[in-house]
Amino acid sequence: MRLPKIDNLEITEVSEDILLVHQTDPLFFFSCCDGLLILPKKKRNNSTISLDLNIEQKYVNSLNNIYGPVSDHICSHGHLDHICHVHVWEDIGANIHAPHPESNYLLNLHNFYQGFGFNEELDFNIVEEFAILNGYQGCNRINAFNPGETLKFDDYNIHTISFPGHSKAHVGYFLPDEKIFHISCLGFDKPKPEIKGFGPWYGFKEASISQCIKDIKKAEKIFIQKAKFLTSSHSYVVKNPDLSPFEYMRNKIRNNQVKVDRALKFHSLKESSENKIVKKLLKMDLFFPKKKLKGAVFEVYRFWESWIIRKHLHRSEFFRNMQEN
Ligand SMILES: [Zn+2]
Protein backbone atom coordinates (compact mmCIF):
# COMPACT_ATOMS: atom_id res chain seq x y z
CA MET A 1 0.00 0.00 0.00
CA ARG A 2 1.25 3.52 -0.74
CA LEU A 3 1.43 5.42 2.51
CA PRO A 4 0.82 9.16 2.68
CA LYS A 5 3.57 11.53 3.75
CA ILE A 6 2.44 13.79 6.58
CA ASP A 7 5.01 15.94 8.40
CA ASN A 8 5.68 14.67 11.95
CA LEU A 9 3.68 11.47 11.50
CA GLU A 10 5.37 8.09 11.08
CA ILE A 11 3.02 5.63 9.49
CA THR A 12 3.93 1.93 9.32
CA GLU A 13 1.92 -0.77 7.62
CA VAL A 14 1.58 -3.61 10.15
CA SER A 15 -0.52 -5.79 7.89
CA GLU A 16 -2.87 -5.20 5.01
CA ASP A 17 -5.14 -2.25 5.90
CA ILE A 18 -3.80 -1.85 9.44
CA LEU A 19 -1.42 1.02 10.14
CA LEU A 20 0.65 1.96 13.19
CA VAL A 21 0.78 5.74 13.61
CA HIS A 22 3.29 7.73 15.66
CA GLN A 23 3.41 11.51 16.16
CA THR A 24 7.00 12.72 16.41
CA ASP A 25 6.52 16.29 17.70
CA PRO A 26 4.17 16.14 20.68
CA LEU A 27 3.24 19.38 22.43
CA PHE A 28 4.40 17.84 25.66
CA PHE A 29 6.29 14.72 26.67
CA PHE A 30 3.28 12.78 27.94
CA SER A 31 0.64 14.09 25.56
CA CYS A 32 0.59 11.46 22.80
CA CYS A 33 0.63 7.75 22.20
CA ASP A 34 0.90 5.55 19.13
CA GLY A 35 -2.08 3.56 17.98
CA LEU A 36 -3.48 1.56 15.10
CA LEU A 37 -5.73 2.69 12.30
CA ILE A 38 -7.91 -0.16 11.14
CA LEU A 39 -8.96 0.81 7.62
CA PRO A 40 -12.25 -0.33 6.09
CA LYS A 41 -12.25 -3.71 4.42
CA LYS A 42 -15.00 -5.83 2.89
CA LYS A 43 -16.52 -8.36 5.30
CA ARG A 44 -14.65 -6.67 8.12
CA ASN A 45 -15.32 -3.06 9.17
CA ASN A 46 -17.18 -0.57 6.95
CA SER A 47 -15.38 2.49 8.26
CA THR A 48 -12.03 3.30 9.84
CA ILE A 49 -11.41 2.56 13.53
CA SER A 50 -8.75 4.26 15.65
CA LEU A 51 -7.25 1.90 18.18
CA ASP A 52 -5.89 4.05 21.00
CA LEU A 53 -4.24 6.59 18.68
CA ASN A 54 -3.93 9.75 20.78
CA ILE A 55 -2.48 12.54 18.62
CA GLU A 56 -3.07 16.24 18.14
CA GLN A 57 -5.94 17.82 16.25
CA LYS A 58 -4.17 18.71 12.98
CA TYR A 59 -2.97 15.11 12.60
CA VAL A 60 -6.37 13.65 13.40
CA ASN A 61 -7.80 15.95 10.73
CA SER A 62 -5.16 14.92 8.16
CA LEU A 63 -5.77 11.23 8.79
CA ASN A 64 -9.52 11.70 8.74
CA ASN A 65 -9.27 13.48 5.37
CA ILE A 66 -7.33 10.57 3.90
CA TYR A 67 -8.87 7.55 5.64
CA GLY A 68 -12.12 8.85 7.12
CA PRO A 69 -14.75 8.86 8.16
CA VAL A 70 -13.39 7.40 11.39
CA SER A 71 -16.44 5.91 13.06
CA ASP A 72 -14.90 4.73 16.34
CA HIS A 73 -11.99 5.40 18.66
CA ILE A 74 -11.08 2.87 21.35
CA CYS A 75 -9.05 4.12 24.30
CA SER A 76 -6.90 1.66 26.30
CA HIS A 77 -6.87 3.38 29.72
CA GLY A 78 -7.19 6.68 31.54
CA HIS A 79 -3.60 7.98 31.61
CA LEU A 80 -3.08 11.42 30.15
CA ASP A 81 -1.04 10.29 27.13
CA HIS A 82 -4.06 8.19 26.12
CA ILE A 83 -6.91 10.58 26.83
CA CYS A 84 -5.87 14.20 26.27
CA HIS A 85 -6.67 14.48 22.54
CA VAL A 86 -9.53 11.99 22.38
CA HIS A 87 -12.02 14.88 22.26
CA VAL A 88 -10.72 15.56 18.74
CA TRP A 89 -11.89 12.16 17.53
CA GLU A 90 -15.28 12.93 19.05
CA ASP A 91 -15.31 16.31 17.25
CA ILE A 92 -14.88 14.63 13.86
CA GLY A 93 -17.84 12.36 14.64
CA ALA A 94 -16.28 9.18 16.06
CA ASN A 95 -17.90 7.17 18.86
CA ILE A 96 -15.53 6.94 21.78
CA HIS A 97 -15.04 3.69 23.69
CA ALA A 98 -13.01 3.29 26.89
CA PRO A 99 -12.65 0.74 29.70
CA HIS A 100 -14.73 1.25 32.83
CA PRO A 101 -14.17 3.03 35.24
CA GLU A 102 -11.34 5.02 33.65
CA SER A 103 -13.84 5.85 30.89
CA ASN A 104 -15.08 8.53 33.32
CA TYR A 105 -11.67 10.22 33.29
CA LEU A 106 -12.28 11.21 29.67
CA LEU A 107 -15.48 13.00 30.66
CA ASN A 108 -14.21 15.14 33.49
CA LEU A 109 -10.76 15.89 34.86
CA HIS A 110 -12.04 15.70 38.45
CA ASN A 111 -12.66 11.99 37.90
CA PHE A 112 -9.07 11.60 36.68
CA TYR A 113 -7.80 13.60 39.67
CA GLN A 114 -9.63 11.49 42.22
CA GLY A 115 -9.47 8.18 40.39
CA PHE A 116 -5.68 8.11 40.34
CA GLY A 117 -5.34 9.44 43.89
CA PHE A 118 -3.79 12.79 42.99
CA ASN A 119 -6.28 14.31 45.47
CA GLU A 120 -4.42 12.66 48.37
CA GLU A 121 -1.32 14.75 47.71
CA LEU A 122 -1.83 17.52 45.17
CA ASP A 123 -4.28 20.38 44.70
CA PHE A 124 -6.65 20.08 41.78
CA ASN A 125 -5.28 23.22 40.11
CA ILE A 126 -1.81 21.60 39.82
CA VAL A 127 -3.20 18.57 38.03
CA GLU A 128 -5.45 20.80 35.94
CA GLU A 129 -2.51 22.95 34.86
CA PHE A 130 -0.52 19.85 33.92
CA ALA A 131 -3.45 18.37 31.99
CA ILE A 132 -4.04 21.60 30.06
CA LEU A 133 -0.32 21.74 29.17
CA ASN A 134 -0.85 18.33 27.62
CA GLY A 135 -3.92 19.49 25.68
CA TYR A 136 -6.60 17.75 27.77
CA GLN A 137 -10.24 18.55 27.07
CA GLY A 138 -13.17 16.48 28.24
CA CYS A 139 -15.34 14.40 25.92
CA ASN A 140 -19.15 14.58 25.91
CA ARG A 141 -20.05 10.91 25.71
CA ILE A 142 -18.17 7.65 26.23
CA ASN A 143 -19.25 4.07 25.60
CA ALA A 144 -17.74 2.18 28.51
CA PHE A 145 -16.70 -1.46 28.19
CA ASN A 146 -15.33 -3.89 30.73
CA PRO A 147 -11.66 -4.90 30.41
CA GLY A 148 -11.62 -8.32 28.76
CA GLU A 149 -14.76 -7.72 26.71
CA THR A 150 -14.81 -8.39 22.97
CA LEU A 151 -15.85 -5.32 20.99
CA LYS A 152 -17.74 -5.82 17.76
CA PHE A 153 -17.75 -3.39 14.84
CA ASP A 154 -19.76 -4.56 11.82
CA ASP A 155 -18.23 -8.00 11.14
CA TYR A 156 -15.06 -7.29 13.04
CA ASN A 157 -14.13 -8.48 16.52
CA ILE A 158 -11.53 -6.82 18.67
CA HIS A 159 -10.58 -8.66 21.86
CA THR A 160 -9.63 -6.49 24.78
CA ILE A 161 -7.23 -8.04 27.30
CA SER A 162 -6.97 -6.82 30.87
CA PHE A 163 -3.46 -5.81 31.99
CA PRO A 164 -4.26 -4.17 35.33
CA GLY A 165 -0.73 -3.78 36.72
CA HIS A 166 -0.24 -0.48 34.88
CA SER A 167 -3.68 0.92 35.72
CA LYS A 168 -6.71 -1.01 36.90
CA ALA A 169 -8.69 -0.63 33.67
CA HIS A 170 -5.71 -0.83 31.31
CA VAL A 171 -6.26 -3.11 28.31
CA GLY A 172 -4.29 -4.46 25.38
CA TYR A 173 -5.96 -5.60 22.15
CA PHE A 174 -5.82 -8.71 20.05
CA LEU A 175 -6.97 -8.59 16.44
CA PRO A 176 -7.59 -12.27 15.69
CA ASP A 177 -7.97 -11.97 11.91
CA GLU A 178 -4.58 -10.34 11.42
CA LYS A 179 -2.93 -11.82 14.53
CA ILE A 180 -1.87 -8.37 15.69
CA PHE A 181 -1.33 -7.98 19.41
CA HIS A 182 -1.31 -4.38 20.65
CA ILE A 183 -0.01 -4.41 24.23
CA SER A 184 -0.75 -0.69 24.85
CA CYS A 185 1.20 0.60 27.86
CA LEU A 186 2.52 -2.68 29.22
CA GLY A 187 6.02 -1.15 29.19
CA PHE A 188 7.66 -1.83 25.84
CA ASP A 189 8.53 1.75 24.98
CA LYS A 190 11.53 1.60 22.65
CA PRO A 191 11.06 3.98 19.72
CA LYS A 192 13.82 2.07 17.86
CA PRO A 193 15.62 -1.19 18.67
CA GLU A 194 18.75 0.72 19.68
CA ILE A 195 16.99 3.35 21.82
CA LYS A 196 15.83 2.53 25.33
CA GLY A 197 12.81 4.00 27.05
CA PHE A 198 11.58 4.07 30.62
CA GLY A 199 10.04 0.59 30.66
CA PRO A 200 6.97 -0.53 32.64
CA TRP A 201 5.31 2.36 34.44
CA TYR A 202 3.81 2.07 37.92
CA GLY A 203 3.83 5.65 39.21
CA PHE A 204 0.42 5.54 40.88
CA LYS A 205 -0.89 4.16 44.15
CA GLU A 206 -3.12 1.63 42.37
CA ALA A 207 -0.35 0.28 40.13
CA SER A 208 1.42 -2.94 41.11
CA ILE A 209 4.83 -4.29 40.16
CA SER A 210 3.89 -7.89 40.93
CA GLN A 211 0.78 -7.52 38.75
CA CYS A 212 2.91 -5.94 35.99
CA ILE A 213 5.17 -8.99 36.09
CA LYS A 214 2.12 -11.27 35.81
CA ASP A 215 0.76 -9.15 32.94
CA ILE A 216 4.09 -9.41 31.07
CA LYS A 217 3.99 -13.19 31.45
CA LYS A 218 0.40 -13.34 30.24
CA ALA A 219 1.22 -11.12 27.25
CA GLU A 220 4.26 -13.21 26.36
CA LYS A 221 2.12 -16.34 26.30
CA ILE A 222 -0.48 -14.73 24.05
CA PHE A 223 2.24 -13.45 21.73
CA ILE A 224 3.97 -16.85 21.46
CA GLN A 225 0.75 -18.81 20.98
CA LYS A 226 -1.39 -16.55 18.84
CA ALA A 227 0.24 -13.43 17.45
CA LYS A 228 2.30 -12.58 14.39
CA PHE A 229 2.93 -8.93 15.23
CA LEU A 230 3.37 -7.00 18.44
CA THR A 231 2.68 -3.28 18.60
CA SER A 232 2.47 -0.94 21.55
CA SER A 233 1.77 2.65 22.57
CA HIS A 234 5.36 3.83 22.32
CA SER A 235 7.39 1.49 20.10
CA TYR A 236 8.18 -0.09 16.76
CA VAL A 237 6.58 -3.25 15.33
CA VAL A 238 8.00 -6.57 16.58
CA LYS A 239 7.50 -9.88 14.77
CA ASN A 240 7.04 -13.30 16.33
CA PRO A 241 9.28 -15.10 17.46
CA ASP A 242 11.23 -12.04 18.68
CA LEU A 243 10.71 -12.09 22.44
CA SER A 244 12.99 -9.15 23.21
CA PRO A 245 10.14 -6.86 24.36
CA PHE A 246 9.40 -9.16 27.29
CA GLU A 247 13.05 -9.46 28.26
CA TYR A 248 13.38 -5.67 28.04
CA MET A 249 10.40 -5.08 30.34
CA ARG A 250 11.56 -7.58 32.96
CA ASN A 251 15.08 -6.14 32.90
CA LYS A 252 13.77 -2.63 33.40
CA ILE A 253 11.86 -3.64 36.52
CA ARG A 254 14.87 -5.54 37.88
CA ASN A 255 17.18 -2.58 37.24
CA ASN A 256 14.77 -0.17 38.91
CA GLN A 257 14.84 -2.37 42.01
CA VAL A 258 18.63 -2.35 41.97
CA LYS A 259 18.61 1.47 41.73
CA VAL A 260 16.45 1.80 44.84
CA ASP A 261 18.34 -0.86 46.81
CA ARG A 262 21.70 0.70 45.94
CA ALA A 263 20.54 4.16 46.98
CA LEU A 264 19.32 2.76 50.30
CA LYS A 265 22.61 0.98 50.96
CA PHE A 266 24.96 3.64 49.67
CA HIS A 267 23.42 6.46 51.63
CA SER A 268 22.72 4.19 54.62
CA LEU A 269 19.27 5.66 55.07
CA LYS A 270 18.39 4.54 58.56
CA GLU A 271 15.35 6.72 59.25
CA SER A 272 12.49 4.67 60.53
CA SER A 273 9.71 6.32 58.60
CA GLU A 274 9.00 5.32 55.03
CA ASN A 275 7.91 8.87 54.18
CA LYS A 276 11.27 10.30 55.20
CA ILE A 277 13.12 7.74 53.14
CA VAL A 278 10.92 8.44 50.11
CA LYS A 279 11.64 12.17 50.47
CA LYS A 280 15.38 11.56 50.56
CA LEU A 281 15.30 9.22 47.59
CA LEU A 282 13.22 11.74 45.63
CA LYS A 283 15.99 14.30 46.05
CA MET A 284 18.42 11.89 44.37
CA ASP A 285 16.50 11.98 41.07
CA LEU A 286 16.78 8.19 40.75
CA PHE A 287 14.15 7.98 38.03
CA PHE A 288 13.46 11.46 36.68
CA PRO A 289 15.86 14.40 36.43
CA LYS A 290 13.67 16.94 38.18
CA LYS A 291 16.17 19.72 38.83
CA LYS A 292 15.05 21.82 35.87
CA LEU A 293 11.34 21.15 36.31
CA LYS A 294 9.11 23.79 37.79
CA GLY A 295 5.61 24.28 39.16
CA ALA A 296 2.91 21.82 38.18
CA VAL A 297 5.26 19.73 36.03
CA PHE A 298 7.69 19.29 38.94
CA GLU A 299 4.86 18.42 41.35
CA VAL A 300 3.35 15.77 39.06
CA TYR A 301 6.71 14.12 38.28
CA ARG A 302 7.54 14.10 41.96
CA PHE A 303 4.17 12.49 42.73
CA TRP A 304 4.72 9.77 40.09
CA GLU A 305 8.27 9.09 41.21
CA SER A 306 7.24 8.85 44.86
CA TRP A 307 4.96 5.94 43.95
CA ILE A 308 7.59 4.23 41.83
CA ILE A 309 9.98 4.45 44.79
CA ARG A 310 7.36 3.21 47.27
CA LYS A 311 6.55 0.19 45.09
CA HIS A 312 10.23 -0.75 45.03
CA LEU A 313 10.71 -0.10 48.75
CA HIS A 314 7.90 -2.55 49.46
CA ARG A 315 9.71 -5.19 47.39
CA SER A 316 13.14 -4.45 48.86
CA GLU A 317 14.61 -7.04 51.18
CA PHE A 318 17.15 -4.48 52.30
CA PHE A 319 14.37 -2.04 53.26
CA ARG A 320 12.52 -4.77 55.16
CA ASN A 321 15.62 -5.70 57.15
CA MET A 322 16.29 -2.05 57.85
CA GLN A 323 12.76 -1.61 59.22
CA GLU A 324 13.04 -4.67 61.44
CA ASN A 325 16.38 -3.71 62.97
ZN1 LIG B 1 -0.40 4.53 30.76
What is the tens place of the pLDDT at every residue in 9-67?
999 999 989 999 999 988 887 899 999 999 999 989 999 999 999 999 999 999 999 99
The pLDDT score that the predictor gives to residue 212 is: 98
* Mean confidence (pLDDT) of the chain: 94
**Percent of the chain at pLDDT exceeding 70:** 98
Q: Determine which of 22-26, 137-141, 269-273, 299-303 has the lowest per-residue pLDDT on average.
A: 269-273
Of 290, 297, 291, the residue nearest 130 (C-alpha): 297
The pLDDT score that the predictor gives to residue 117 is: 97
pLDDT > 70? residue 325: no
Q: Which long-range contacts (CB under 8 A, 24 or more apart) does 58-63 make?
A: 59/6, 59/8, 59/9, 59/23, 60/85, 60/88, 60/89, 60/92, 61/88, 61/92, 62/4, 62/6, 62/9, 63/6, 63/9, 63/21, 63/37
pLDDT > 70? residue 271: no
Predicted structure pTM score: 0.95
41 C-alpha vs ligand 1 centroid, how far in Å? 30
207 C-alpha vs ligand 1 centroid, how far in Å? 10
307 C-alpha vs ligand 1 centroid, how far in Å? 14
The pLDDT score that the predictor gives to residue 321 is: 81
187 C-alpha vs ligand 1 centroid, how far in Å? 9
The pLDDT score that the predictor gives to residue 269 is: 65
169 C-alpha vs ligand 1 centroid, how far in Å? 10
